[in-house]
Structure formats: structure tokens, C-alpha cells
Structure 1
Amino acid sequence: MKIRQTKIEAFSLQEMMVVLIITTVVVGMAFTVLNLVQRQMGSIETIYTMKTDVNQFRQSLWIDFSMYSYVHFDNKNNVLRFSNEMGERTYEVLNKSSISNENLEIEIESIAFYFDNQQVLYGEIDAISITTSKETGHQEIFAFKENTPVTYINKQK
């Protein structure tokens, strides 16, 4: 009786080494791509936060321009003051490089005040134009209010 030797099929050591090297390269590439995606997500989050802050500031200005009847810029104290019979709200212009209210502060490149379609440096205003800084995306913010006859009567006094 013959004893038959059967060969067990398996991978050779060289084949296993090739598989391990290929797996190492693929996993290394996956970690590199993951790192790039995480950095990109961080950049997107930063831009989103910045744009959200500017949009909130824009909305705050629009609400204040529509809610308050008297808007005045005091250039000595660098304060933009909104007021009516019910109350007052202020925005502070800090060194012509940022503007803030109680909740938000944004960096600005330029700010201009207008009354009756004419640029003014101080006093009563009915519109404001703000250009945000490079860090906040050079966005334009423009807010205005409709003047009532009372505004012009008070201006003549």
C-alpha cells in the first residue's frame, strides 16, 4: 500500500510579503486622504462661521434700522446709536478696524455713513455701508431706513 502524500495548497512567503506591502501602501494612502479631508473640513467650518457672523451682523443692522426711528453716529466716541421712544441700542466702532454690538464683533475695512443720499461723517444717518476685512471675506453690508417727515422737521431745528 502506497502512502500518498498530498500537498496542502497555501500561499508562499513571497506572495504574503507582496500582499502586506500592497496593504501597507493602501492604508497609508487612506490615512493621507483622511488627513486632507479633515483639514478641508476645518477650513469649511471656519469660513461658515465667519460668514454666519457677518450675516448675523447684517440682520442685526437691518432689524435696528427698521425698528428705531433715530440713528446717529457720534464721531467723538465712535458710537452708532439707534433710539426711539422705547429704548436705545448702540454699536461701537473700534479704531475704524472693527464694529461691535452687544453680541457680535466683526473686522471691517471701511465704513461709510449716509443721510439723504449724501455721505456724512457724523450726525444723523439713514444708511450705512460696511466692507468687511479680508479675514471676513470682503463682504459688503448695506443697511438703510426710510426717512419720515419727522426726520426732516427735526433736521431743520
Structure 2
Amino acid sequence: MIPQKVKAFTLSELMVVLVVSSIVVTIAFLALSSIQKQVRNIQYTYEKQQEIQYLERVLFGDLNSYEGIYDDTKKKLFFENTEDSLQYHFLKDVVVRNGDTIPLKLTMKQLYLHGEEVKKGVIDAIELEFSDTFSTNTVFVYKKNDASHYIDTNGI
């Protein structure tokens, strides 16, 4: 009786399959790592955009509900009305609003009254620029002054 040949893979064929499979798995892990890094960057950018939008909303509300007074020597913005007051403190890496810390890197801050820059005194507009994300973000918040503002300003 002559032994029959068993159909099977040779050792060299199995080694080639093993090497190709390991290359494919390595490429897959590298691609996954790259995608995870991109997702983290997108998430970070989204969080910073949310913080900038939050600051813009509260600044708009405060500027239109209170009278804003800025003091450049203290780097503080005070908002006051007959019932309440609050303050903003502009630091390099954060903006503090009555103890609420908003982690944004401020690159430029300008405050205005009637379109002219103010270093100290009453304001009616604020322009802030942040560079925490991949692009520079600018926030410009203003209020429309009513007649009482112009009467108080002119001393009538």
C-alpha cells in the first residue's frame, strides 16, 4: 500500500501568512492610534469653543443688565446695577467671573465706549481674542445705550 499524500500548507507558506497578518494588524493599530489622537483634538477644540460661547453669552447678558466699569490697573471689569454687582478678572490663562473660572488663554482684550478704546471707566463694548484652539477666536459683545446713559454721560 502506497501512502497517500495529505494536502496541507508547507511551513514556509504558514510563515508568509503570519508575517502578512502581523503587518496588517500593526497598520490597523497605527491607524486606530492616529484616529484616537484626532478625536481627542476635535474634542478639545469643541470644549474650548463651548467655553468661548459660554463666556460670550454671560458677557452679553451682564453687559446688557449692568453698567460696566473697567479698571486696567487691576485688570478687572465691574458690573453694577441697583440690585447687584459682579466682576470679571482677566488673567493670562483664565477669565474669572465672580469665582467661576473659565480656562481660556486671552491674547487680546479691548474695551470700548462709543467706539473708542477705554483703559479705565464706563464701557459699552468688549472685544476678546483667544488662541486656545487651532484657530484664533474673537468675541465682540456690545450693548445699545439708552437715553439715560447719554444724559448721565453728558451731565445733563
2: distance between equivalents of 1:110 and 1:98? 13
1:89 aligns with 86
Question: Where does structure 2 lack aligned partners over 5 or more consecutive residues?
Answer: none
1:100 aligns with 96
Larger gyration radius, structure 1 or structure 2:
1
The alignment's C-alpha RMSD in Å is 1.9
2: distance between equivalents of 1:105 and 1:33? 32
TM-score by length of 2: 0.86
1:13 aligns with 11
TM-score by length of 1: 0.85
Question: Where does structure 1 lack aligned partners over 5 or more consecutive residues?
Answer: none
Q: Deviations over 1:22-80 (max 9, x none)?
A: 11111111111111112222222222222221121111111212222x11112332211
1: distance between equivalents of 2:11 and 2:74? 81
What does 1:3-152 align with in structure 2 at a 5 Å threshold? Answer: 3=1, 5-68=3-66, 70-94=67-91, 99-101=95-97, 102-103=99-100, 104-132=102-130, 134-136=131-133, 137-152=135-150
Give the deviation of 1:98 after TM superposition.
Answer: 5.1
- In 1, are the aligned partners of 2:69 and 2:77 still within 8 Å (CA)? yes
2: distance between equivalents of 1:105 and 1:79? 16
- In 2, are the aligned partners of 1:100 and 1:106 still within 8 Å (CA)? no
- In 1, are the aligned partners of 2:104 and 2:132 still within 8 Å (CA)? no
> 4+ runs of 1 displaced by more than 4 Å?
none
1: distance between equivalents of 2:129 and 2:45? 17
Q: Which moved more, 1:109-118 or 1:121-130?
A: 109-118
The amino acid across from 1:74 in the alignment is: D
- In 1, are the aligned partners of 2:113 and 2:123 still within 8 Å (CA)? yes
